[in-house]
Amino acid sequence: MFGFLNGKATAKPGLKIIIVGCGKVGITLVERLSQEGHDITIIDQDEKLVKEVAGLYDVMGIVGNGASYGVQMEAGINDSDLIIAVTESDELNLLCCTVAKRMGDCAAIARVRTPDYSKEVGYLREKLGLAMIINPEYEASLEAARILYIPAALEVNSFAHGQAELIKFEIPEDNVLDGMPVSDIRGVVKADILVCGVERNHDVFIPGGDFMIRGGDIISFVSTRAQTLEFFRKIGFETHCVKSTMIVGGGDAAFYLAKQLMNMGVDIKIIERNQKRCEELSILLPKATIINGDGTDQELLHEEGIDYVESFVPLTGIDEENILLTLYAKHISDAKVITKINRINFRGLINSLDLGSVIYPRYITSEAIIAYVRAKKNSLNSNIETLYHMFDHRAEAIEFHVSGSCAVTDVPLKDLRLKKNLLICFISRNGKIIIPDGDEMILEGDSVMVVTTNTGFDNIADIIR
């Protein structure tokens, strides 16, 4: 065990954070949290990986067992604000956090993926005193299920405890919205939605009322579930939830997604190579059809009905397989497809492919943790509730809970000097979602969602100049 420091001239402002585990999620967290100005120490047992990550991101690196008292002391647990354990082992992650809580006065977050533990998240969090337990596969399954409920959407993100959603979809050529200014949409379509982001030819816009929508634009809008379905109906999209889904791969992500979809009344078929896992899934998911076979076998896919299934979700552990399976499904069927991708080395190329809806579990995990970190850093009159990155991280959608009076409360929105490239999308008040006009005011106790191309907001007051 040894430690080394890639020297820094001055200490970064922000929280002191220890990250245990330099896998895909750990590296994503190091990248994002160091960009936001936090003091990061990484711990991993792979010496070569620690040196590589520490050198690349200019953070402190320690080689050793993250659950060890000595290693945590060397990492500075006594004066750290947060420890995040994201190794491949659920048990090690929980042990790291337990040791840290006994040694220092820091918050603790653990990644826990095993379904057995996931049933006990509330109990474990309470008894171990953890700030958060996060399960990337489960969170990815929730996102996939939301998309399959509204198959016209490319992405569906949830806000205000599920009362509002941020929907991304592509405008077809010659659609009723093609050539319409944003200010006319609500009046013409008669649906209570707010367009809050547009991607056109790889450029991202936070649109004003005079922004003209064109065919081929990728649009993000905010609304309630009922108004979203009404909006899609009126612009000519199918709005029914899929009735059948074929899943390739029988891992934890497939189990979680199948459970979600069965609760929605969807017929499930899972193709899995490993016979023992098939037997386990048959017991865990008695209403699903479990096929023991190679999901990359074209003949098998056709035998099991890929030609007419309404949705297709490859969830193998190999990104390349998932991508090829998605492309094949789109080539030979009209199925709604969702592609899960774990690595992001070739994201530019991936974005150029027609993969339908793409889900990155590591980003789902990192965004939940970053939202917590920003809320912990901020001690003023608002906290971040939810954070999503949009359009390949070129914009942020942030939900703030306004817990006290501040510079933005009790002032008509039209009188606030808002920063450029920022839009207030909705106000959640007493269980009601309000799509605001200029006369609406933010009140103490509200939750407010904004979309902006600015980055790093951790307080609602950051929206004003």
State percent of the chain over pLDDT 70.
95
CATH number of 244-359: 3.40.50.720
Q: From CA 266, how far away is CA 149, in angstroms rounded?
A: 10
CATH fold label, 2-134: Rossmann fold (3.40.50)
pLDDT at 352 over 80: no
Show the tokens assigned to 109. 């977050």
Please tell me what DSSP assigns to residue 78. G
pTM: 0.87
pLDDT at 91 over 80: yes
pLDDT at 353 over 50: yes
Q: Specify the range with the lowest mean pLDDT, choosing from 207-221, 233-247, 265-279, 370-384.
A: 370-384
- How confident is the model over 301-315, as a mean pLDDT? 95
The mean pLDDT of the chain is: 90
State percent of the chain over pLDDT 90.
71
CATH fold label, 364-463: Alpha-Beta Plaits (3.30.70)
pLDDT at 11 over 80: no
How many beta carbons lie within 10 A of that of residue 304, not counting itself?
A: 19
161-187 tens-digit pLDDT:
889 999 999 999 999 999 999 999 988
**Which element (helix H / strand E) includes 99?**
helix 90-103
Higher pLDDT, 345 or 90: 90
Closest CA to 449 of 389, 386, 407: 386
Q: Where in the chain is the domain with CATH 3.40.50.720?
A: 2-134, 244-359
20-71 tens-digit pLDDT:
999 988 999 999 899 888 999 999 999 999 999 999 998 999 999 999 999 9
- Cα torsion 440, 446, 450, 455: sign: positive
